[in-house]
Structure 1
Amino acid sequence: MDKTNSLRVVQMLQEYIEENLQTAITLKELADYSGYSPWHIGHMFKEVSGKSPYEYIRLRRLTRAALVMRDENKKVIDVALDFVFDSQEGFTRAFTKEFGISPYKYHKQTPPIKLFLPQKVYDTYRAMYYVYQNEERMVKTMKTVFVQIIERPERKCLIKRGIEAAEYFKYCEEVGCDIWNVLTSVKEALYEPIGMWLPENLRDNGSEYVQGVELPLDYNKAIPDGYELIVLPPCTMMVFQGEPYDDEKFAEAIGEIWKHIDKFNPELYGYKWAPADGPRFQLAPMGYRGYIEARPVKKIS
């Protein structure tokens, strides 16, 4: 089987697993669903995803269980049984081993933990293939870009710094690509996690590009190893949002917005760029909503 077909099959199984996390799933069931033998599916799944089907299912169940305990007032035993664990004791052992905290303590305190949030393997492959095939391509046409002004209050931000990264791919090389797994777990988040380009006064000898999640000023929970809390000043942000796009064309969508911003004159609307006032930030590229990026501005007196 060629690589592309293997990726398609494994993604099909990822989607099947996601829809059935609260029921028993056997290797034979996955094999029957895919049309391949259990041995072949086990080998293919491990080769493509890096984890055996059993390990993958266990990690997804633990992650979904953690989110339920974070957001709902359910007993640990009920969550354990909902996600097909034989007993509360077995669930507690597995949860504690994976996240370093017991489910009971996590339910009470909900500190940031590293969730297992795998990407869909075939969609990721298509997106990266598109980037490699089109990285030298110039954007020749501009699409509609929606612009709005938002106010960000003074707030804390949980971040993980890189070394000298100025963009996402270098940042992944320096610290890994699973930071979102931790940031997404933070119950008190004011907004969704973001990628940020920090101004000089916030870099503290670290990288320009970081990832983080904004939090209330009174946030005081334990900080995961390698992360830190910084305070972001209140600032005015000009937000640019492009048209929806096919997910594998995210690089082109980002390029279109950057090209638009380069030509944009905020003074026509009574503002000027204010890069020292706060971090420029981007939301996770999602094709259905268009690429979204914000730059700090200040009103012209």
Structure 2
Amino acid sequence: MEEAQVIQAVQRMQEYIETNLHRKITLKELANVAGYSPWHAARLFKEVTGKPPFDYIRALRLTQAALLLRDEEVKIIDVAMDFVFDSHEGFTRAFSREFGMAPSKYGRQTPPIKLFMPQKVFDTYQSMHKGENRMSEKKETKTVFVQVIERPARKLLLKRGVKATEYFGYCEEVGCEIWSVLTSVKEALYEPIGMWLPGHLIREGTSQYVQGVEVPLDYANVIPEGYELIELPPCTMMVFQGEPYDDIDFMAEIGAIWEHAKRFDPTVYGYQWAPEAAPRFQLAPMGYRGYIEAYPVKAIRNS
């Protein structure tokens, strides 16, 4: 059986699960979608995603339920029924096992938790097999949009690595699941970011590249184990954004933005680079919006 066929079958099951998350899903239904016997479909699903189908479904339902409890005023029994749990008690037990606290407590306090954020396996497969070495291709993004934004004084909830200077090295040191925690932070001012810290923010024995999320200065919620909260002063950032692209081309798009920023003269806008003023940061690559990266700058004072 070809690898691509297996990946496509598992992706079809993933998509079916997402579409039918609020109703009962049977193994027979997943098998029909995959085109294999129930036993074989379940085995392939676990081999590719790392979870048996019903563990995957439960984790995805509990994550969606947690986001609902975080963002809306809802009754726990209604959430339980909406996500196909038989009772308030059964939902509470499952939620507590998944996140380490009862849903009632989470709804009141909404601390950062580790959400379940599965990757689309076919997208991953395409990136691995079609995107290899694309960073070295000299692909030019047709248009790069440049704008200047202001960031207020804020705090940064981050997790440091050891020696990492870029995303892949960071994942090897810290793991790739940190995004699921950062995404859960209710008080977040903006979406989570990957960052290259300026020298004065790098602690001895820790990495230049980190991941984190910016929160208000009065953030007083839980700081997860292994994370840290630091204060960042106001800053000015020059943001580079490429055109939308196919997701499999993300490495080439990142490289194109890096090359553009390297050649760019910020004095055209009346600014100069200020690498020590703030972390340079990148947003999660998403093809529909183009790759986005921001560099710290400061205004040029005319004498």
TM-score (norm 2): 0.97
Instruction: For 1:49-198, list aligned pairs within 5 A.
Output: 49-139=49-139, 141-198=140-197
- Aligned-pair Cα RMSD in Å: 1.0
Partner residue of 1:39?
39
Instruction: For 1:6-17, list aligned pairs within 5 A.
Output: 6-17=6-17
- Deviation for aligned residue 1:99: 0.6
- Report SS of the residue matched to 1:244: coil
C-alpha distance in structure 2 between counterparts of 1:100 and 1:211, whole Å = 23
Partner residue of 2:2?
2
- Report SS of the residue matched to 1:132: coil
C-alpha distance in structure 2 between counterparts of 1:102 and 1:6, whole Å = 37
- Deviation for aligned residue 1:19: 1.1
C-alpha distance in structure 2 between counterparts of 1:146 and 1:234, whole Å = 23
C-alpha distance in structure 1 between counterparts of 2:17 and 2:293, whole Å = 33
C-alpha distance in structure 1 between counterparts of 2:150 and 2:116, whole Å = 32
Structure 1 residue runs of 5 or longer lacking an equivalent are none
- Deviation for aligned residue 1:233: 1.2
C-alpha distance in structure 2 between counterparts of 1:31 and 1:159, whole Å = 41
TM-score (norm 1): 0.98
Partner residue of 2:202?
203
C-alpha distance in structure 2 between counterparts of 1:212 and 1:48, whole Å = 28
CA contact under 8 A between 2:157 and 2:213: conserved in structure 1?
A: yes
- Deviation for aligned residue 1:157: 1.0
State the identity as a percent. Answer: 66
C-alpha distance in structure 2 between counterparts of 1:148 and 1:225, whole Å = 36
- Deviation for aligned residue 1:129: 2.1
1:99-144 deviation per Cα after TM superposition (whole angstroms, max 9, x unaligned): 11110000001000000001000101111223324343333x3421
- Deviation for aligned residue 1:90: 1.0
Letter in 2 for 1:132: E
CA contact under 8 A between 2:136 and 2:252: conserved in structure 1?
A: no
1:193-234 deviation per Cα after TM superposition (whole angstroms, max 9, x unaligned): 100000011111211001111101101111111111111111
C-alpha distance in structure 2 between counterparts of 1:82 and 1:32, whole Å = 25
Structure 2 residue runs of 5 or longer lacking an equivalent are none
1:28-70 deviation per Cα after TM superposition (whole angstroms, max 9, x unaligned): 1111222211011011001110110010000000000000101
Partner residue of 2:262?
262
Tell me whether 246-255 or 26-35 shows the greater mean CA deviation: 26-35
1:29 matches 2:38:
no
CA contact under 8 A between 2:12 and 2:33: conserved in structure 1?
A: no
- Report SS of the residue matched to 1:210: strand
C-alpha distance in structure 2 between counterparts of 1:247 and 1:203, whole Å = 32
- Report SS of the residue matched to 1:47: helix
Letter in 1 for 2:276: A
1:256-282 deviation per Cα after TM superposition (whole angstroms, max 9, x unaligned): 100000100101221000000000000
- Deviation for aligned residue 1:77: 1.0
C-alpha distance in structure 2 between counterparts of 1:142 and 1:63, whole Å = 36
C-alpha distance in structure 2 between counterparts of 1:300 and 1:208, whole Å = 27
Letter in 1 for 2:45: F
C-alpha distance in structure 2 between counterparts of 1:201 and 1:277, whole Å = 9
